[in-house]
């Protein structure tokens, strides 16, 4: 004779709950394995989903030696450079490190000379060749922009969109301004960083700071005794208000103010 045991009404509910918990698994960013992080393109490390476990998990790791995985995040190695644009003015990238451009004049080309900071600079760079290079009411005289009194005038430099590196023309202008400081016996200046109207206020303030600091580094390389401070105005002080590239290019600038 068989005995039929009564079924518990909770049985199906308990089984369903166990199946549901097993199928759901841990909630992001918690994990038991890489499968729990796969939808985010991440990896499971110590029960947490992170950006990387190995450097090879980082984008561009095979082409950029400065990329590394550090504590689950893809970062750039401190002090590492991939090309000369990663280095400050007066430096070059060698074996992924920013080093001096030169040790002697022989290391420089184009008639440049090696200054005390190990940077190749033009000893006779001219700030202008014609009046058009000076702008406004300034005149070009003996390679310098001068005002109506015949005194040399400080010339601002411009930057490419979203960039803070110095072009060769900008470096020449900074060198010419340094000679003007000496001629006018200026001992301290302020370099002002400016941006065009595109982007947020916070981003442009930081970009203006990078531009001003880049100018300061180069200026100190050609005029060590000059006291230089920097300030960023972001996009707050445009010289032109038209929504055009020609106008924006005027606003992407660094200005020199004697103190």
For the chain, which domains are there?
29-76 (no CATH), 79-119 (no CATH), 124-258 (3.30.1330.60)
Query: Taking residues 209-214, what's their average pLDDT?
Result: 95
Confidence of residue 102 (pLDDT cuts 50, 70, 90): confident
Closest listed residue to residue 198, CA positions, set 161, 159, 240: 161
What distance in Å separates the CA atoms of residue 208 and residue 232, rounded to the nearest whole number? 5
For 120, list phi and psi in degrees, rounded to 5: -85, 120
When comparing pLDDT for 249 and 18, which is higher?
Answer: 249
pLDDT in tens, 64-76: 888 899 999 988 8
Confidence of residue 143 (pLDDT cuts 50, 70, 90): low
Buried b (16+ CB within 10 A) or exposed e, 131-151: eebbeeebbbeeebbbeeeee
pLDDT at 94: 87
**DSSP SS3 for 45:** strand
Provide the CB-side half-sphere exposure for 244 (13 A, CA): 5
When comparing pLDDT for 121 and 1, which is higher?
Answer: 121
For the chain, give the mean pLDDT.
Answer: 81
Tell me, what DSSP letter sits at residue 57? G
Does the pLDDT value for residue 23 go beyond 50?
yes
pLDDT at 146: 65
Express as a percent the part of the chain with pLDDT over 70: 75
Does the pLDDT value for residue 21 go beyond 70?
no
- From residue 8, give the alpha-carbon distance in Å to each of 3, 11, 13, 19: 16, 5, 10, 18
The pTM (predicted TM-score) of the whole model is: 0.47
Cβ–Cβ < 8 Å for 213, 230: yes
What distance in Å separates the CA atoms of residue 143 and residue 146, rounded to the nearest whole number? 9
Cβ–Cβ < 8 Å for 112, 126: no
Peptide bond preceding 141 in cis form (omega within 30 of 0)? no
- From residue 16, give the alpha-carbon distance in Å to each of 6, 12, 24, 37, 208: 19, 6, 12, 25, 61
- The radius of gyration computed from the CA coordinates of the chain, to the nearest angstrom, equals 30
Q: Are strands 144-146 and 139-141 parallel, antiparallel or unpaired?
A: antiparallel
pLDDT at 126: 41
Provide the CB-side half-sphere exposure for 221 (13 A, CA): 27
Most confident range (mean pLDDT) of 100-104, 114-118, 159-163 is 159-163
When comparing pLDDT for 118 and 126, which is higher?
Answer: 118
When comparing pLDDT for 111 and 232, which is higher?
Answer: 232
Query: Measured between alpha carbons, how far apart are the two ends of the chain, in Å?
Result: 109
């Amino acid at each position: 004779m068989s005995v039929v045991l009564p079924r518990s009404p909770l049985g199906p509910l308990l089984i369903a709950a166990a199946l549901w918990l097993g199928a759901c698994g841990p909630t992001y960013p918690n994990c038991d394995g890489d499968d729990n992080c796969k939808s985010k393109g991440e990896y499971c490390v110590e029960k947490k989903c992170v950006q990387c476990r190995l450097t090879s998990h980082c984008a561009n790791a095979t082409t950029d030696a400065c990329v590394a995985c550090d504590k689950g995040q893809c970062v750039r190695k401190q002090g590492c450079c991939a090309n000369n644009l990663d280095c400050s003015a007066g430096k070059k990238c060698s074996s992924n490190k920013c080093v001096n451009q030169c040790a002697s004049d022989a290391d420089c080309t184009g008639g440049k000379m090696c200054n005390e900071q190990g940077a190749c600079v033009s000893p006779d760079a001219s700030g202008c060749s014609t009046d058009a290079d000076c702008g406004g009411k300034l005149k070009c005289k003996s390679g310098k922009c001068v005002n109506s009194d015949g005194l040399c005038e400080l010339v601002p430099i411009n930057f490419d969109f979203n960039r803070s590196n110095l072009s060769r023309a900008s470096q020449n202008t900074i060198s010419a301004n340094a000679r003007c400081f000496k001629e006018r016996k200026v001992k301290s200046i302020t370099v002002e960083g400016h941006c065009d109207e595109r982007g947020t206020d916070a981003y442009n303030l930081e970009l203006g700071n990078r531009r001003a600091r880049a100018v300061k580094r180069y200026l100190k390389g050609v005029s060590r005794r000059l006291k230089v401070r920097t300030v960023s105005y972001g996009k707050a002080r445009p010289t032109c208000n038209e929504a055009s590239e020609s106008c924006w290019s005027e606003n992407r600038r660094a200005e020199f103010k004697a103190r």
